Every structure is written in structure tokens, then in C-alpha cells.
Amino acid sequence: MPSREEGSKAPPSAQDKGKAKVDDLADVTKEGEKSKDGKDAKADLPPEELSEEDQKLKEELEMLVERLLESDTSLYKPALEAIKTFIKTSTSSMTAVPKPLKFLRPHYEKLEAAYESWPEGEDKASLADMLSVLGMTYSDQNRHDTLKYRLLSPSKDIGSWGHEYMRHLALEIGDEQQLRLEDEKSTKGVEDLKQLALSLIPFFLKHNAEADAVDLLSELEMIDKISEFLDEDTYPRVCLYMVSMVALLPYPDNHEFLKTAYSIYRQYDQYTQALLLAIRLNDLDLIKQTFFDSTKDKTILRQMAFLLARERIQLALPEALTDDDSELQGCLDNSKQSEFFKYLAKELNILEPKTPEDIYKTHLENMRTAGLTNTDSARHNLSSSFVNAFVNYGFGDDKLMLVEDKASSWVWKTKDEGMLSTAASVGMLMAWDVEMGLDKIDPFTYADEDAVKCGALLATGILSSGVRNDAEPALALLGDAEKLHEGSPNQRVASIMGLGLAYAGSARDEVLEILLPVVMDKSQEMRVSAMAALSLGLVFVGTANSDVLGAIFETLIDEDRQRQLDDKWTRFMSLGLALLYFGQQEEVDVLVETLKAIDHPMAKATQVLAEACAWAGTGQVLNLQNFLHICNEHIDEDDDKATKKGDELLQAYAVLGLSLVAMGEDIGQEMILRQFGHLMHYGEANIRRAVPLAMGLISPSNPQMKVYDTLSRYSHDNDIDVAVNAIFAMGLLGAGTNNARLAQLLRQLASYYHRDANALFMVRIAQGLLHMGKGTLSVNPFNTDRAVLSRVGAAGLLTVLVALIDAKDFVLKDSHYMLYFLAAAMHPRWLITLDEDLQPLTVNVRVGQAVDTVGAAGRPKTITGWQTQSTPVLLSHGERAELEDEQYVPVSNTLEGLVILRKNPEWES
């Protein structure tokens, strides 16, 4: 008779009747569990109330088990078949345990004993097959019985046991492999596990479980085997999952995944996607192989050339290709960029040049302060030159510089180095249009003032940034040995910087021959040598070129140069060295070890900068932890000046490194932004100065409200250096977006800082950045659906931020021309559709927020909240476009940048 307490319990629920959770079952049937009074714990449970149907099922199963335990072997086969049928037909849902498994569980140990006593043969294998399924109910006890009996019963038809069984088996294979590898005494290999795993893959792929297939092969380190199991229908989903996993994998698994996805795309003739993965792998041989050997199709080759031009990768085309298609070289050189950009401006009706006043909108600023600033000062005019250059970038027209009457040109309203930066702004206005641009720059080369001549040299480099001209004017005009070795220091710096911008990412040996002697020339001042090292870093970004490496190293360890290493310009030599290893990941370890041999505070800072560049965009957690650790150290006030400066730079680089490494991955970004809050609260002054810059770097041209609200607070900081950097970061955050909220915040700052020349100068620069290209440009280094990190773009941004760590020594003093390194990162955020003859083609596209479809079932929508527009269109951060109908088929997989469309032969109007 049950006690009152037990009697008052609620009637058994469905869970009690036969659908108990696995965990509950495990607790109920643990043997030898006694209650406090010594009785068996089971005795305290109320007897289970089973429905008539369940009772019948239980009795039948118990009878079949009895048969298996008898000595009559002729009954074994039919009994096993019957039990298997019951299990397979019970339920495929695994939110609860199927009833046959629940009723068979108490007999599990007897069946195991029976298995041991049976002779080898078909019946024994069949029993192992059933025990493997029954073993799932013991999964919480780390017994791996499912796997144990599956290995003892090789069967071709494992999939008939259902999806949940297959997932369970895959999980145990991963666990078992780990145990075997960790157990040093184990003599078992993992070959049997690998063979079994391969037999599961076809089932997973057939049932839309690509993620399970990829994860299992990844666990067993044989991801390259997946290509054997794919077909036309399954490869796109598998590759999409593999490529999206790369950001979450450690080195070298991430490269293994990219290489496997690359070979699959090549196998299925997806050349543009294969090329993008070759670019991500930073493997020039693979890029050449994809471009030259994969297809003879003119249109596909042109589309691949556009993709390479976007990443600034220059290839020498064989004559056979250029004879075949005269336009191909033009696509690779980006020579039509200016023409297409002006077409975009015309379609969007923004050809009319804007003046700085259109941007400042001083009539909206606080009227009390508007008249108090000395508006005609050379400093104010200089900031207007920059604003004018950023806003009218690439339009080939403005109202300040390109005026008919050269005497009224804006250059003469500035002075000293200001003239240099102002003259150089012509290169920004005429960007991409090399022939017309050289004509406009020419008058400035004959000016009497040295600064204007220098500006014209720099303009020539900026003009050619991102495009290539057969005549190579930048090389001819800037590579002149006389200017580089005998000209004024400003002339040397302008020529060197121009060469770096014009040939960024091209890895051209001609530039190497010109600049290498300048780096190694001991008679040059540090500023010139450091700029030469930086330009070489830009030209050979991510190539780990040994000649450049050797030259910079020799300079750093040269005894005659030791006293120069304390110079403020030395940081750019370190940056040049670091850029060589951009995206090289593990390869940087050799450099880091070698730098330890240099006995100077700069060496440590260079190590951190090199590590940040090598792992840029990968989201590697170990590097982030290391950088945070560096920020945590306290700088000793008693150290000598050089050591203290080196340590301050070390920490500032670590802060920028946090952004650089985390910028490729959304979750990492969120976490780092939170860390920046802590660093601002508890960090030293040098760290606090770098944090706003790092916040700008983590989301350039992507004005997230939470970020710019924080920066807006920092822009009123007591430390003016922090405030100035926060103002610049606000400009970087909204670069090219015309964000109205940011524009309002910057106007308020212009009123607030009307008496502080430095802060006001920076507010103007930020306003220029915000309206960059009248809202058509972006400085975000990620492109092609945020999949590819442009090395040149990231290098340009990093250079400007390194100069801003000590803004008072560079940008706010006399080296404001360093801001022009942003030209390396500036590109239109457009989608222009072209026909096969490369003429603009107007089609309707839907533009909306991109949706992550990785692993989603069926054919999910890739965008949400879209609007239908006709091309050309502008794409904001996080937006994606797709064609409205199927009249045309895009040659590139991603609708971004310049995309060639083909007529769909199956389309009927």
C-alpha cells in the first residue's frame, strides 16, 4: 500500500508513461541505488501505468529478448529482425526516447552477456547492430557503446536507423578519437574510426546536414576527403559552410578549409569564387593558376580581372591573352574606373562640385561662436583643402583648386607645408583619371615654391593609386634618382610617398630598385629612410619580400643609426616591416624571434605591430589575449625617455592590434568594443589616446550608433589628445556615408572647439571624411560581401592611425600630408552592371540587409527588407543586392563592384 505522500502524487504524465527523457531514464535505472531506509530506490516509485498498447509492446519485446537468451539458435534471426523492425518503426523524433528503446533498456546487460557468449557469425553481427542503437540510451556514462558495437558490426545500411542515431555516432567517433590520441598507452590507431566516418558522409549530405559532414571530417583532420562525396546540388552549401567557418578556426585548419573549398569550386567551374579564395589564401601562384589556366571564356576572364584590380593585384598577361582580348589588360589595370565613377555620379545626379562651406554649414553652428574664429587663417584654409579633396574625390572638378585663373588657386591661401598638402589635393580630385590629371598637376610643377612642387609630386602618386597606366608616369616622374638623393627633404618624402601610394600592393621590382638604396643610405635623415621603408611595405604588403626585410633590418641594427632610432619617424620603419607580413599568420614568428636580438625599445613595439598585421582580420583569440596582457602592464616612470616612449608605443600598438585582429568577425568585435570601455576607465594616458582610433578602425564606414555615441563622449575628454583622436575616429566611422546624426554631432563640436585650432582642424577633417566622395565612397577594407580583406586598404588605414597616435607630432604639426594615405583605402561602394562589351547596363536589383544563410534549410532569402532600384546603386555596410528577375545571369557570384551580366538563354520575355 503506498503511503499518503505517494498516493497524493499527480497521475503519471506522458513523460512517465513511455516518453521519458534519456537523462531521467539514466537516473531511474542506476543499479544498486538504495533509499535511506535500505530498501531499493525503485520500490519507492509508483508502479508505471502503461496503456494497453504500450503494455502489449512491452510484453512482445520481453518475449523476443527471452528468445535471444535461449539456446535455440534458430530463433535468433527472426527475433532480431522483429526487434529491429519495432525500433525503426517507433519514432524518428528524438526529443524523447522511443518506447522500444525504453522497454529494452533494462535487458541491455543481459543482451551484452549474450553477445559475448554467441559464436561468430551473421547472427552475432546482427545483435551488435541492434546493441549499437540501444547503446544510445547509455550515452551519459561515456561508454561509447554505440560506436563499440557499430565497429563490431560492419553494415552498409547504417542510415536506416535514422538521423539522430547517425549524429550520435558521429559525436562518439569524435570523442573516441580524442581519447585514443590522448592515451599514450593505447595501441589502437584511428584508421577504423576514419573508415566508419567516411561511411556516414553520404547520409549527411543526402539529408541536408552538410554542417555535420564537415564537422565530422574536420574533427578527424581529413576535410580534403569531402570533395569525393559532393555533386552539383550539394557543393554550394558545403562550400558556403566551410568558408564561413574559416574565421572561427585556428591556423592551419583555416587554410586547409580554404584550400579544400578552392579545389571544389575549381572542380565545378566556379572560377570567380575560386579566385576570391586564392586571394584570401594570399597565394600568388594559385591566383595565376586560376586566372591563366582555368578558362578561355573572355567574359569570365574580364570579371576575374575586375576582382583582381579591386584587390590591387597586378599580373603580367601573356601575349596570347591580350591578342585574344584587347580589353582584358584594361580591366586588370582598372583603367575604366574613372569613367564608371563619373557615370555613377551622373546617374545619381551629384556631378555638381561641393565647396567646404556646403559641408560645414556654418549657419547651423552656434551663432555666438561663428564669428569668433579667425576664418582666413592659413590653418583654416588648409583644413578646407583637405575637406575639398575628400568630398570631391575622383569627380575631376571643384571650385577651389581646378580654377581657370591659376593666381586665384587655393594653394596661395596656405603657407609652408600647407602648400604641399593643398597642391597634393589635385591628385585626390583627379583620382583614377591619369591622363587628364597629369595635365591639371603640370602647372604646379613649375611653381617657384618648393612646397608646391613637392605637392605636385605627391599628387602624381595619389592620382595613380589603384589604377595602372601603360606609360607608367608615376614611375618616370617620381623615381628620378636626382630628386630622391639630392632634392630637398620634402621633395624626397613626397616622391617616396607618391611611389608607395601609386604602386601599393603591386609588388613591382622596379619600385624596389628605386627605394631600396634610400632605405640603406646612412646619410639620409630618418624621416626619408622611414618613409622609403613604409612605401616599400605598402608596395610589397603581405609578400614577406626578403630584400626589403633585409634592408630594413640592416638599418635597425646599424650602429651608426642607433642614435636615430629614437627619432619620432622610426615608427614608420617598424610599420613598413610589419606590413610585409600582413596576413602571413604563423610566418611572422621568425620575424618576432629575430627582433628580440635588437637591443632597443622600438624592437618590442615592432614585434607587436608585426603580430597585429600578420593576424589581421582572423579574430585569433590568443593574439587578442596577448595584446590585452600588454595593455595591462604598468609603465615605470623612472625609465629613460627612449624606453618610456618605446613602452608607450608598444601599448598603443597593442590597442590598435586588438581592432585589427578582431575586425573580421562580428562576435569578436562586440567583445573588443566592451574591452575598450575598460581600457578607457583604467588605462594609462597613452592607451586612452589609442582607444578612439582603434574604435574607428574596427568599424570604418559603418556608423554604428553605440560606437559613435561613445566616441562623442570621448570627444569632450579632459585630455585634448584623446578628444582630437575621438573626433577623427568619428569621421572614420562615418566615412562616405553622409550620416546625418554624425554630421550634427560634428557641427556641435565645431562650435564647442571654436577657440582650439587643433581640435577645430580635426573636426573639419572629420566632416570631410563623413561626406567623402559626396557619399559614394567607403574606407572599409572588407569587400565582396565582407569576405575579402583588402591588404592595401587596411595598410592605408593603419598608416594614418599610427601617425595619429601622436597627432601633435605629425598631423597637427607639419606632416598633415600623412592623411593622404587614406587614398589607399578609398573605393566606391557601388554596384555597376555591365554587358559583355563592358558598357553600363541598367537592370532592376533588390537591395536589402544581408541575411546569414549558412546552414539554413531549403532556399532561404539572402536579403531582408529590400527596395527595388535600378543600377547603378550604392551599397551601404551590411547590404547585399540580387537581380530582380532571371533575364540576365551575373558572371560573378557576388553583386558588388563591377559585375558583368550575360543574357539568360532560357529567359522568355
Q: What is the pLDDT of residues 320-331, one digit of tens each?
A: 888 878 889 999
The residue from 827, 857, 879 where one domain ends is: 827
Claim to verify: residue 402 and residue 362 sit in the same structural domain: yes
The listed range with the strongest mean pLDDT (67-71, 77-81, 631-635, 736-740) is: 736-740
> Does residue 598 form part of some domain?
no
Claim to verify: residue 239 and residue 128 sit in the same structural domain: yes
Question: According to the model, what pLDDT value does residue 331 have?
Answer: 92
Question: According to the model, what pLDDT value does residue 144 have?
Answer: 79
d(CA 642, CA 603): 12
Asked if 146 and 129 count as a contact pair (C-beta separation under 8 A), the reply is no
CA dist list (Å): 32 to 27, 42, 102, 145, 661: 11, 10, 19, 21, 55
d(CA 489, CA 814): 13
Does the pLDDT at position 156 exceed 80? no
Asked if 572 and 537 count as a contact pair (C-beta separation under 8 A), the reply is no
Claim to verify: residue 822 and residue 849 sit in the same structural domain: no
This prediction's pTM: 0.89
Outline where DSSP puts E strands in 612-727: none
Looking only at Cα atoms, what is the longest distance across the chain? 114
Q: pLDDT tens for residues 382-392?
A: 999 999 999 99
> Does residue 680 form part of some domain?
yes
Cell of 772: 567623402
**H-run or E-run covering 881:** strand 879-883
Claim to verify: residue 374 and residue 475 sit in the same structural domain: yes
What is the DSSP-derived secondary structure letter of residue 19? -
Q: What is the Cβ-side half-sphere exposure of residue 796, based on CA atoms within 13 angstroms?
A: 33
Q: pLDDT tens for residues 44-83?
A: 555 567 788 878 888 888 888 888 788 777 777 888 888 8
The type of residue at 479 is G
> Which DSSP string corresponds to 460-510?
HHHHTTT---TT-HHHHHH--HHHHHHS-HHHHHHHHHHHHHHTTT---HH
d(CA 196, CA 201): 9
Claim to verify: residue 770 and residue 752 sit in the same structural domain: yes
Claim to verify: residue 883 and residue 786 sit in the same structural domain: no
How far is C-alpha 739 from the chain's CA centre?
24
Does the pLDDT at position 39 exceed 70? no
Claim to verify: residue 376 and residue 487 sit in the same structural domain: yes
> Does residue 653 form part of some domain?
no
How far is C-alpha 8 from the chain's CA centre?
61
Q: pLDDT tens for residues 599-621?
A: 888 899 999 999 999 999 998 88
Q: At what angle do helices 757-770 and 720-733 cross, to 10 degrees?
A: 10
> Does residue 606 form part of some domain?
no
The residue from 477, 503, 529 where one domain ends is: 503
Segments forming the whole domain that contains residue 205: 114-292
Cell of 487: 632634392
As a whole number, mean pLDDT of residues 120-135 equals: 81
CATH number at residue 770: 1.25.10
Confidence class for position 142, pLDDT limits 50, 70, 90: low
Cell of 94: 528524438
Does the pLDDT at position 88 exceed 50? yes
- As a residue count, the chain comes to 909
Does the pLDDT at position 660 exceed 70? yes
CA dist list (Å): 298 to 286, 304, 312: 20, 10, 21
d(CA 742, CA 762): 14
**H-run or E-run covering 903:** strand 897-903
Cell of 895: 553583386
Proportion of the chain above pLDDT 70, given as a percent: 91
Asked if 99 and 57 count as a contact pair (C-beta separation under 8 A), the reply is yes
- Top pLDDT among 47 and 299 is at 299
What is the DSSP-derived secondary structure letter of residue 819? G
User: Among the listed ranges 446-450, 636-640, 674-678, which one has the minimum average pLDDT value?
Assistant: 636-640
Confidence class for position 9, pLDDT limits 50, 70, 90: very low
Q: pLDDT tens for residues 566-589?
A: 889 999 999 999 999 999 989 999
Does the pLDDT at position 882 exceed 80? yes
Proportion of the chain above pLDDT 90, given as a percent: 54
Name the β-bridge partners of 782. Answer: 789
Q: pLDDT tens for residues 183-202?
A: 776 667 778 888 888 888 99
Claim to verify: residue 681 and residue 775 sit in the same structural domain: yes
Asked if 892 and 299 count as a contact pair (C-beta separation under 8 A), the reply is no
d(CA 248, CA 314): 30
d(CA 436, CA 561): 43
Does the pLDDT at position 112 exceed 90? no
d(CA 638, CA 189): 59
Nearest CA to 598 among 553, 547, 533?
A: 553
d(CA 210, CA 234): 8
> In 3-state terms, what secondary structure has residue 641?
helix
CA quadruple 95, 99, 104, 106: dihedral, nearest 10: 70
Asked if 390 and 400 count as a contact pair (C-beta separation under 8 A), the reply is no
Name the β-bridge partners of 898. Answer: 832
Nearest CA to 474 among 526, 517, 437, 518?
A: 437
d(CA 814, CA 138): 74
Does the pLDDT at position 178 exceed 80? yes
Claim to verify: residue 896 and residue 823 sit in the same structural domain: no
Asked if 130 and 84 count as a contact pair (C-beta separation under 8 A), the reply is yes
As a whole number, mean pLDDT of residues 706-719 equals: 95
As a whole number, mean pLDDT of residues 837-851 equals: 94
Does the pLDDT at position 756 exceed 50? yes
- CB within 8 Å of 655: residues ≥ 6 apart: 627, 631, 676, 679, 687, 690, 691, 693, 694
CA dist list (Å): 658 to 281, 593, 616, 655, 674: 22, 21, 9, 5, 12
Claim to verify: residue 140 and residue 254 sit in the same structural domain: yes
Claim to verify: residue 845 and residue 802 sit in the same structural domain: no
The listed range with the strongest mean pLDDT (360-364, 482-486, 555-559, 818-822) is: 818-822
Claim to verify: residue 771 and residue 869 sit in the same structural domain: no
Asked if 79 and 85 count as a contact pair (C-beta separation under 8 A), the reply is no
> Does residue 591 form part of some domain?
no
Average per-residue pLDDT for the chain: 86
Confidence class for position 493, pLDDT limits 50, 70, 90: very high
d(CA 129, CA 112): 12
Does the pLDDT at position 300 exceed 60? yes
d(CA 161, CA 174): 20
> Does residue 777 form part of some domain?
yes
State how many domains the chain has.
4
CA quadruple 163, 168, 174, 180: dihedral, nearest 10: -140
Question: According to the model, what pLDDT value does residue 873 have?
Answer: 95
The residue from 292, 319, 354 where one domain ends is: 292
d(CA 623, CA 535): 26
> Does residue 797 form part of some domain?
yes
Cell of 542: 603581405
> Which DSSP string corresponds to 96-165?
S--HHHHHHGGGHHHHHHHHHHSPSSHHHHHHHHHHHHHGGGGGGGT--HHHHHHHHS--S-GGGG-HHH
Is the bond leading into 840 cis (omega within 30 degrees of zero)?
A: no
Does the pLDDT at position 698 exceed 70? yes
Q: What is the Cβ-side half-sphere exposure of residue 426, based on CA atoms within 13 angstroms?
A: 31
> Does residue 325 form part of some domain?
no
d(CA 462, CA 424): 8
Residue 375's CB: how many other CB atoms inside 10 A?
11
